[in-house]
Each structure stands twice: as C-alpha cells, then as structure tokens.
Structure 1
Amino acid sequence: MQERLQKILSQAGVASRREAEKIILDGRVKVNGEVVAELGSKADPDNDVITVDGKAIVVAENRVVILLYKPVGYMTTMKDPEGRPIVTDLLKGVKERVYPIGRLDYNTEGLLLLTNDGELANTLMHPSHEVDKGYLVRVSGKVSEEQIGKLTEGVELEDGMTAPAKVAPVSESEHNSWISITIHEGRYRQVRRMCEAVGLSVVRLKRSRYDFLEIGDLKPGNFRFLAPEEVTRLKRKVYAGSGRAPRKTGIVARRQPSSPSPGGRGRGGGGGRPGGKPRG
C-alpha cells in the first residue's frame, strides 16, 4: 500500500515527519533509484526500494516496544567504538532490531524504552510533549530544604535554566540520602548536573518511571514487552492537544523470553532494592 514518503521515513526511524520533509526537499531520498524531492510523493514500503543518502530503509512489519532495566555499565547506543557493552546485548531472544528511545548515560541505571517504531520514538523524544521521567537519586550526606527548594524551582546550568522539577525526600541514613526527582526535559546528564549545581554529590542514579510506566520488580538486565494498550496510552498522552489522532499501534503482543538477561549481571552498586523503596 502506498503511503506518503515523510510518513514512511518517520515510521522507519529516520527522522520526525517535519525533519523527513526537509530530507525529501533536499533531494536525499530515492525511490527505486530515482530522486524524489516533492512533498506529497508516495511509495509502497513493501515493494519499493527507498533509500536515504544511499542507504536503504526498512519499515518494521511487527512493531514492538520493550521496557528494559538498564544496568550500570552499558551504553545506550547501537554500537560503541570503545567496545563497551550496549543495551541491546541484553535483549536475548528479541528478533526485531530495536533502538533506544532517548538515552541513559553509562553510570545511570533504570527504565529504558526501546522500539522499532520510528514514529513513536520521534514523537516521545520531541521536547514539546514534556513526558515526565522520574528518578531515584542517592547522594552523599544529608539534603537540606534549601537544596530541595532550588531543585524544585529550577537551577542554572551551562546550557540554561532548567524547568521546575518535582523533588521530594525519600529516606535518610547516617552517610547517604535518597531523593526523588521528576523532570520532563531531556538534557545531557541533566539530573546529575542539577544535583551538582546545588552542592549534592550523586552516588547512584536510577530512572524509575517514564510517564505512567514504572520499573516495577524488574531486575537489572531484565526486560518486558509493552502490551498494545500501554502503547496506545503512551500515544494518547503525547498526541493530546496536538489535533492529531493516535495512529493504530501495530504493536504485537509478545511473550518475554524465559532467560532475557545474564542474571544478576547488573552493576548498580547496592543501597537499594531494584523494584522497591531505596535503602539509605
């Protein structure tokens, strides 16, 4: 079935629809060897050979979304020039070629979504949708009300003022404290930099929530497939108020492989239960 080229590029994860339009206008797209540089042009992703900058694109027939507990010590990329482990190494038994929605840095653990649905990935990562992301943060020493107040109001970083965050104390011990921080921005190492800006030293950082999705009782390295209704709920969230109706998910129900992880391979450091309340 023929579809607009910008939609095909978006579904393949090449770019958002708006960015795909520019790629087409720049003459970077070919269909069956012929340059197509007009918006509104259509192609059949099942029968036509579509390339961007000479590289063929593939639109996944069966779209999946995976919720992974990323351990510390894994890169959120598709390859690493230094040869460090990457998150897709953990997806044993997954046949689809999926890629991360956003990133968690090497020393951060927790909830990471991966998918082969390019349009969904681009939509969720777009800053205009302000998807809440919740973190549990263990810091050295005690946290003052003044520090919590500054984080809540927003702090000045080298790339500008952060948006207000939701911050609350969780637990406290003699040497460490746990706080929860919820943000909707996606800047590089943002939570760590926010804490450093108010004088807090981060010992452990774990993303525990992405919008309504929670990490639950997953252990480091384990994962599960999202159910179609969960994907639909995500889409309704990001399309709300945009005037666009959620596209049918195309998500297939999948059973998680019986041995999805290396078992206890996570190197998150101690001091908290992966699915429960952190210990100080």
Structure 2
Amino acid sequence: MRALDEWTGDDVRGALRLPTASDDKYSRGVVGLRTGSDAYPGAAVLGVEGAWRTGTGMVRYVGPDRPTALVLARRPETVAASGRVQAWVIGSGTDAAHRGDDEERDLRAILRGDEPVVVDAGALDLVRGSTAPVLVTPHAREHDRLRQTAGLDPVPDDASVTGRAAAAAETAAAFGVSVLLKGAVTVVATPGGWTRSVQAGTPWLATAGTGDVLAGVLGALAAAATPTDADAFGPVAATGAWLHGAAGRLAAALHGGHGGPITALDVAEALPRIVAEGLAAD
C-alpha cells in the first residue's frame, strides 16, 4: 500500500459549511439516532450531545423510555419522535445479544433505505447486505469480529498505521461500506480504495463514552452532506474524526501542562469552538 495521506485541518475547513440566512433546520441537516438501551442509556445522551454540538439542524431520537427521558432532560430541543431524517446513527450503547425482533427488523430497514447510516457497536453485525450508504466505526476488537464474518484474518496488535489502513480498506471492499477504524491514530477507508489517517487526537480520549460522541458528530456531518454512496462517506468520516480529536485535545489542554483527564461530555462541549475555528479560517 502506498504512503498514507493525513487528513488535516486544511481538509476539514474545506468540508465544513457556514449556515446562511436562507438555511432552516431542515436544510442544515436532520439526524436520527436509534442508540442507547436500558443497560447503557448514557450512550444515547452522548451521541445526541455530539450531534447537536457539531451544528446539526435537528436531532430526532428514537429509543427506549429510559434513555429517551435522559436525552430530553439533557437536551430538551431533541425531537423524541419518528419522522424525516437525512442520516441515521445506530448501534451505540446497544448489545446485539439482547436485541429484540422488532428492533432488528427496524434496523435492517434503515440499512436497506436511502439515507446514509453511521453504524456503531451493537449494530455492526447487521451491515452485511446493507444497501444504504454505510460507515462503520469499530475499534480494533470490533473490527476483528467484523472481519471474521467475512473470512478475513484478524489485524495484528502491532500493525503499523499503514497496515491498519490496508486492513480497513480490505474490510471496506468486502462489505461495500466505509470504515472508520478507531485508535491512537484513526484510519478511514472506503470501498473504492480512498484512505486517510487522522492524528488530531490525544491519549486522554481513551475514556468511556467518547466513541458515542464521535458517532453523533459523524451523524450530524452525514445529515448535512448526505453522502450518496459509501465512497462519499470518506471525507465525512475523516472530518468527523478530526473534529472529535481536536475537541478532545482542546478539552484536555484546559488543564495545562500535558493536558488532564476529560470525560466524554467535555469533548462534546469543546466541539462548537473547534467547528467555529474551522469555519473562521475559511
């Protein structure tokens, strides 16, 4: 595989769009989230927060009663009802082993629809055969489990960034989806062979819930950009990873020195400044 190009702040600036006087909440993007569960309700809150803080026009949340109540307590502007969306986020904070038949039917319908779908965690097992534009967001262990279902070898723990990107590209081609492989350096690959590395983050991001925030960020960007196929998801995914990493770095830097401990909500709350700085640099 050739040397891996890095997605940088300059690339991000070209991917962000400043709202205009002619925009409304629909033209800015409506993202739907089917995330969280009674066991992991916080994932719903964090994903919704990530989407709002990235600048989406509307967030619809569809989920169980407990996470719905927590989402509305934190973000009362969220619409807790089905309706029009321009992108979906599914799987965060869910467990495939405890998924009911009705939920599986609804998730499969989303994956067979027209709107782009960000697939995280507990819905990764459903991506085979999907026809919607799909981005999967596994960490290393989830990536290996996904690869196993396609008969692909696991990725060595000591694989280089280039090796991880090659593996992600292989996964993308096997499933017809884009892959955002999380790690100290995130890599993004599309079925058509487009690959990038994203190095905007900080080791302080290795804490519970930050991946749920990232899923919300990606959903917001997808709702605004509405990628029409998996290959078009590449720049969206790389931009989301960069914004998320930069927000984590900013949140950690508030503690001075080499940075300090952060929580997932700290990352979400830093996103508006990162987005604003990106837009201001245009």
| TM-score, normalised via structure 2 length | 0.28
- The structure with higher relative contact order (CA 8 Å, sep 6+) is 2
TM-score by length of 1: 0.28
Larger Rg: 1
Greater strand content: 1
